[in-house]
Amino acid sequence: MDDERSDGLAVDGEMSPEDAFGRVANETRFDILRALWAARNEGEEPTGFSALRRRSGVDDSGQFNYHLDQLRPHFVRSVDEGYELTYAGRRIIGAAVSGVYSDADVSVDAVDVTTCPSCEGTVRLSYEEAIASVACADCGLTVTNTSVPPVLVAGCDRSDLSQVVSDHLLGQVQRLNRGICPLCNGRSEREFVRPDDESGDGGDGAGEEESAFDEHVTVRYTCSECGASSSGVVMMAAFDHPTVVTFLDDHGIDHRTDPVWEFDWWYDATGRVVSDDPLRVTATAAIEGDELTLTFDESVTVLGVDHA
C-alpha cells in the first residue's frame, strides 16, 4: 500500500495530472467532494460512510463506494471516524468556487482609476476572461495584466473593484517575494533582468504592449515547478521591507489601502545597475523631496539602505 503524505498525495506511485483530473471529472465524485466540503464547513468532518452517502445524494451503496474509492487516497482520506478531504481535495473545491473554470464570461467595462505616469492620460481598469488589465487608454502603456479569480470580481461592488484587484495583486507579490508561486505553490526564484536581456518575455499575461519600464532593470519571478513567469519594477521586490513601510508611513501612505497603480514612488524608483562584479542594483523612492535608496545584491535581496 502506498504511503500517504500529510497533504493526501501518495509518495509512491503518484498519479499523473491526466489521471488526477480524470478521477474528479465525474458528477458523482464531485458531489462527494462537495458533500465533504459542506460537512467540513459545518463542523461534521470526518464524515461517516452512511452520512456522506446521504449528503452526496447517491442511493446505490455499491455505486457510491466505487466512486469514493476512485477519490482515495489523493482527494479523500480514510480516518477512524470516516472520511475527510485531503489538501488536494480542498484545492479542487476551492478552484471550483473561484469560478476559474466555470465563470470565464464574467467581465467588467473599463473604469477610470488613475493618471498615466507616461503621458498624463487616463489609466483604466478592465476585466475579461479572468484577467484584470490596468492600462492607459491614450498611449497604450500597460501597468499590469494579472489573473484574478472571477469570484472576487463577481462578488464585489464595482466601486470596490480597484481596491479588490490591487489587494489580490499585492497578495501575489508577497507570495512571490517569499519564494512561493501563486499558481502552483511551487518554489519561485527571482532575478534581475536588464533592458538588453532577450530571455524575458514580460511575464504571464504581459502581452506585447509598451511598458513604462522597458529601459530599466526589472525583476523576474520564475517558478521552478510549473515554469510560470512574471515581472515588475525593482521596488516590487521590497515593497513590504520594514524600511520601506516606515518611509511610507512617515509620509502618511499606507500601501495596504492605496491601489498599487497609484504608487508613484513605486514606479519612479527605477532599477539601475551600479556594479557588475559583484552585481549591485539600486532603486530610489522619492516622496516630497525625501529619498530612500535601496541597494540589492544579485539575489534581489536588500543589501543596504540610504535615507537621505
CATH code of the domain containing 34: 1.10.10
List, in sequence order, every beta strand (DSSP E) within the chain: 76-79, 82-85, 107-115, 122-128, 131-136, 142-147, 188-193, 218-223, 229-233, 272-276, 279-287, 290-296, 302-307
pLDDT-flagged residues of the chain (< 50): 1-13, 199-214
Choose one of 98, 116, 131: the last residue of a domain. Answer: 98
pLDDT computed for residue 45 by the predictor: 84
The pTM score is: 0.72
Identify whether 231 is part of a domain.
no
pLDDT computed for residue 197 by the predictor: 66
pLDDT computed for residue 145 by the predictor: 85
Identify whether 152 is part of a domain.
no
pLDDT computed for residue 249 by the predictor: 92
Identify whether 155 is part of a domain.
no
Identify the domain containing residue 282 by its residue range.
Answer: 239-307
Choose one of 46, 76, 98: the last residue of a domain. Answer: 98
Choose one of 98, 126, 144: the last residue of a domain. Answer: 98
Long-range contacts of 134-140, Cβ-Cβ distance < 8 Å, separation of 24 or more: 134/165, 134/261, 135/209, 137/110, 139/210, 140/209, 140/210
pLDDT computed for residue 245 by the predictor: 92
State the total domains in the chain: 2
Identify whether 295 is part of a domain.
yes
Identify whether 143 is part of a domain.
no
- Inter-residue contact 11 to 4 (CB < 8 Å): yes
Mean confidence (pLDDT) of the chain: 83
Identify whether 260 is part of a domain.
yes
